[in-house]
């Protein structure tokens, strides 16, 4: 089964360039991020960009080889994001509570 996309000659390469640019921006945030949650979000963004790149590669080649890998990577990325959320929630809950006393 072949799939013909309208405008595929310029849309798919443009999407690849935009994915690469987004990857560079996310990599910059991963390396320079001022806090650990910023770095965790950058890792999550990079994995989602990898899923999008695999889907784009499938469209460019006309093969559905990497779709299963992309779905698996998306599921693992979700589990990693949930783990980071629990990690940062635990660190936040150990902070002292503000007193709500009024004068």
Q: How confident is the model at residue 83 (pLDDT cuts 50, 70, 90)?
A: confident
Dihedral of CA atoms 18, 21, 27, 28 in degrees, nearest 10, equals: -140
Whether the per-residue pLDDT at 91 is higher than 90: the answer is: no
Residue 24 CB neighbour total at 10 angstroms: 10
The answer to whether residue 13 sits within a structural domain is no
User: What digits encode the pLDDT tens for the residues 29-76?
Assistant: 999 988 888 898 999 999 999 999 999 998 888 888 889 889 999 999
Q: Structural domain tally of the chain?
A: 1
Residue 11 resides in a domain? no
In the structure, what pLDDT confidence band is assigned to residue 25 with cuts at 50, 70 and 90?
very high
8 Å CB contact between 43 and 62: no
Range of the domain at 40: 19-91
| C-beta separation of 42 from 26 below 8 A | yes
pTM: 0.76
* Minimum mean pLDDT range among 13-22, 59-68, 90-99: 90-99
Look at residues 22, 12, 60, 15 and name the one whose alpha carbon lies nearest to residue 44: 22
């Amino acid at each position: 089964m072949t799939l013909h996309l309208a405008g595929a000659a310029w849309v798919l390469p443009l999407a690849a360039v935009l994915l690469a640019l987004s990857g560079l921006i996310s990599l910059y945030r991963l390396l320079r991020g001022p806090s650990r949650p910023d770095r965790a979000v950058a890792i999550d963004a990079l994995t989602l960009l990898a899923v999008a790149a695999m889907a784009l590669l499938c469209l460019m080649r006309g093969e559905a080889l990497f779709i299963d890998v992309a779905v698996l990577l998306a599921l693992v990325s979700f589990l990693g994001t949930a783990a980071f959320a629990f990690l940062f929630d635990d660190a936040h809950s150990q902070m002292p509570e503000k007193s709500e006393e009024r004068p």
